[in-house]
A and B are shown apart, each in its own frame.
Chain A
Amino acid sequence: EPEVTQTPSHQVTQMGQEVILRCVPISNHLYFYWYRQILGQKVEFLVSFYNNEISEKSEIFDDQFSVERPDGSNFTLKIRSTKLEDSAMYFCASSPSFGLAGGNEQFFGPGTRLTVL
């Protein structure tokens, strides 16, 4: 069964450093998302991406964050200058095009644990 994959599984970085989190969505999906979950807290939406542009972003997704689909398979989240409070699990998700009877379930990857020291 196709699945979303994410690398690395765990990333440790120093405060102020740039990190890039990588995701390979399910191959025929067209909608891509990033979410994060700070330890012990709710899963929070960061950004959605469709047709090579951001379709929606949350207040968390400030100028320090960017997303890119550099080729036909990868979807990346970049944090330019990490802060301690960026420590969290970051989940990528993808969904197929919707229409017909709606649906549009999102399929999540296993996550990248980011630790900022």
Chain B
Amino acid sequence: DAKTTQPPSMDCAEGRAANLPCNHSTISGNEYVYWYRQIHSQGPQYIIHGLKNNETNEMASLIITEDRKSSTLILPHATLRDTAVYYCIVRVAGDKIIFGKGTRLHILP
């Protein structure tokens, strides 16, 4: 079973920041937080991952709380192409991915 809890769906206006929350209260010290997304009928796409520190790349930012029990994925300027299901995954590096149901993000024009 997935070790994370995410809201089933969220809306965000185009051009605004999309903030997707994730709870992972049972995360272990050697587990990373990964985010993937799945645009309709496509393969999952890696977005970002982190262990303790906040991370940023060209796609998104990842904010992890100090106790590591929750995190937030931030898409700084959402576009219609960001409409997808977003998966927050907790795993040991190298382990298989266990996908949950994720958050269905709708970007509204």
Which residues of chain A have a CB within 8 Å of any CB of chain B? 4, 31, 33, 35, 42-45, 48, 56, 58, 89, 91, 93, 95, 98, 101-111
Residue of B nearest to A6 (CB): B43
Q: Are B42 and A111 in contact (CB under 8 A)?
A: yes
Q: Which of B38, B46, B51, B94 contacts A43 (CB 8 A)?
A: B38
Q: Which residues of B sit under 8 angstroms from A93, Cβ to Cβ? A: 43-44
Chain B residues in the interface with A (C-beta under 8 A): 32, 34, 38, 41-46, 49, 51, 93-94, 96-101
Q: Across the interface, do B96 and A43 meet the contact criterion of CB distance under 8 Å?
A: no
Which residues of A sit under 8 angstroms from B99, Cβ to Cβ? 42-44
| Of B46, B93, B98, the contact of A107 (CB 8 Å cutoff) | B46
Report Cα–Cα, A56/B96, bound state, in Å: 8
Instruction: Choose from A35, A58, A103 the contact partner of B93 (Cβ within 8 Å).
Output: A103
B43 touches A91 (CB 8 A): yes
Q: How far is the CB of B22 from chain A (nearest CB, A)?
A: 16
